[in-house]
Amino acid sequence: MKILLQSPRILQKGSPFHNKEKNVLIQNGRIQEIGDKNYSADRIVKAQGMLLSAGWVDMGTYVGDPGLEHKEDLESLNKTAIAGGFTTLAVLPNTQPVVQSKNEISYITRNNDSRLVQFHAMAAVTKNTKGEELTEMIDLHEAGAIAFTDGLKPIWHTDVFYKALQYLQKFDGLLVDHAEDQWLNMFGQMHEGLQSTLLGMKGMPRIAEEIAISRNLELLAYAGGRLHFSKVSTAKSIDMLRSAKKKLQLSCDITSYQALLTDEQLKNFDTHYKVNPPLRERADNDALLKGLKDGTIDVICSGHLPQDEESKQLEFDLADFGIISLQTMGSNLATLAEEVEWENLIEKITTTPRRLLNLEQPLIEPETKANLTLFDPERSWTLDDKTNQSKAKNSPWFNSKLKGKAVAVFNNNKSWIDKDED
């Protein structure tokens, strides 16, 4: 089948078509033509005003499969990612069992040949992500692990952290850390500040993140290697990383919602806003926006963390952390685009995560494989029981009208086009 995308704005820095509106003809999983001609096709998508980029990448998605499939399994994750506009996911190791052997990596990746969305395993740094004993990282790398992290847990043990940086240098591996001092955050429910005081809840102070980042930067300077900080949230963290990037192999990401929401959203004790790192204050959000603009922040990730109803419909201090956010990331980006240029945002969900993870960079050029996301920043839609593809519903935007939606996704000789385009 020939599919014609009519006049989308192509966003891919370095491409001769960058920032230009062109017709794009796709056939048999490949880009056949790009130009101004109105090519004949079996299906036409009127894409003027839409953005066409390389397929989106999420650098750290949680899935409960294996072990906690009731939260999210690989099939529901695949559908959710497609609806969100993603063609590539790096999956966190916090499953049961933990991703720490060849078998677990194979379980995550085994259907990539037949799947539109490509799943890649991020293997655990420590056995059972307990932070005490290193996994066989060289063997895991050879088995296909694309990065190493304890995922939702910080690598708290300084000697383990130091040795992990050393071992990973043998194959230029990437260490990904969720920076947090667990002792400072123990029993914490939200950001420590005025709102936590007014609500009478134990706070999670900024310093719990900042002291971990400071420590890990010193270890990186001492040991060498490549380090990526996941889900950074405070203004001081951004300042430290901005300075350190001048001399270290260092990168970082934020979740798409972190710069948009504040701890004031928690005044009604809505557990759908309970996340880790917690929603901070407006000054922190402003610092994150500045970091997006000046390149301090390399990647935007979804922070997708599905939870079942029994884990969220509880008293606030008993509820689990997390938001489902693969499907709503596009609408978050559309809001961020009011402050940050689209070409900057797109680079942080396409080119940069692939470079950090050593994945092939798809090109938007004739005679190349079609690995593409078509996104309409003006499309209005609602995340509800009908449109939601995840098994979970733990989103603060559930049953809310949103703006910005993926319209089509192409990858691995497969395609998905939103039914509203029929």
**What tens digit of pLDDT does each residue of 38-92 get?**
999 999 999 999 999 999 999 999 999 999 999 999 999 999 999 999 999 999 9
Q: Report pLDDT for 420.
A: 76
Q: Span 356-371, mean pLDDT? A: 97
Domain 2-51+366-377+396-421 is classified in which CATH homologous superfamily? Urease, subunit C, domain 1 (2.30.40.10)
Confidence of residue 295 (pLDDT cuts 50, 70, 90): very high
| Whether residue 260 has pLDDT greater than 70 | yes
Strands (E), 192-276: 203-204, 226-229, 250-255
Average pLDDT of 283-307? 98
Closest residue by Cα to residue 261 from 191, 196, 187: 191
pLDDT of residue 234: 98
Q: Are 407 and 421 in contact (CB under 8 A)?
A: yes
Contacts of 234 (CB under 8 A, 6+ apart): 206, 209, 210, 277, 280, 284, 287
Residues 340 and 292: their CA atoms lie apart, in Å, by 7
Residue 319 CB partners (closer than 8 Å, separation 6+): 271, 274, 311, 312, 313
Read off the DSSP letter of residue 92: P
Question: What does the alpha-carbon distance between residue 397 and residue 273 come to, in Å, rounded to a whole number?
Answer: 10
Quick check: helix, strand or coil at residue 267?
helix
pLDDT grade, residue 421 (50/70/90)?
low
Q: What span, in angstroms and rounded, lies between the C-alpha atoms of 356 and 173?
A: 9
Strands 372-382 and 401-411: antiparallel
Supply the pTM of this predicted model: 0.97
Residue intervals of the chain classified under CATH 2.30.40.10 are: 2-51+366-377+396-421
Q: Name the pLDDT band for 419 (thresholds 50, 70, 90).
A: confident
Portion of the chain with pLDDT greater than 70, in percent: 100
Percent of the chain past pLDDT 90, that is, above it, reads: 99
Determine the Cα angle at 229 with ends 227 and 261, to 5°: 165
Selected residue with higher pLDDT from 368 and 419: 368
Residues of the chain with CATH 3.20.20.140: 52-356
Residues constituting the chain: 422
- Provide mean pLDDT across the span 167-173: 97
Give the mean model confidence (pLDDT) for residues 229-235: 98
When the pLDDT of each residue in the chain is averaged and rounded to a whole number, the result is: 97
Mean pLDDT of 215-237: 98
pLDDT at 422 over 70: no
Q: How many CB atoms lie within 10 A of CB 73?
A: 16
For residue 223, what pLDDT is reported?
98
Rg of the chain, C-alpha, whole Å? 21
Mention the CATH class of domain 52-356.
Answer: alpha beta
Residue 386 confidence (pLDDT): 96
State how far the alpha carbon of 23 is from the alpha carbons of 41, 214, 292, 366, in Å: 11, 48, 30, 11
Tokens of 115: 């799947």
Cα angle at 301 between 223 and 88, to 5 degrees? 95
Q: What is the mean pLDDT of residues 179-201?
A: 97
Token duo for residue 125: 């740094």
Residue 378 pLDDT grade (very low, low, confident, very high; cuts 50, 70, 90): very high
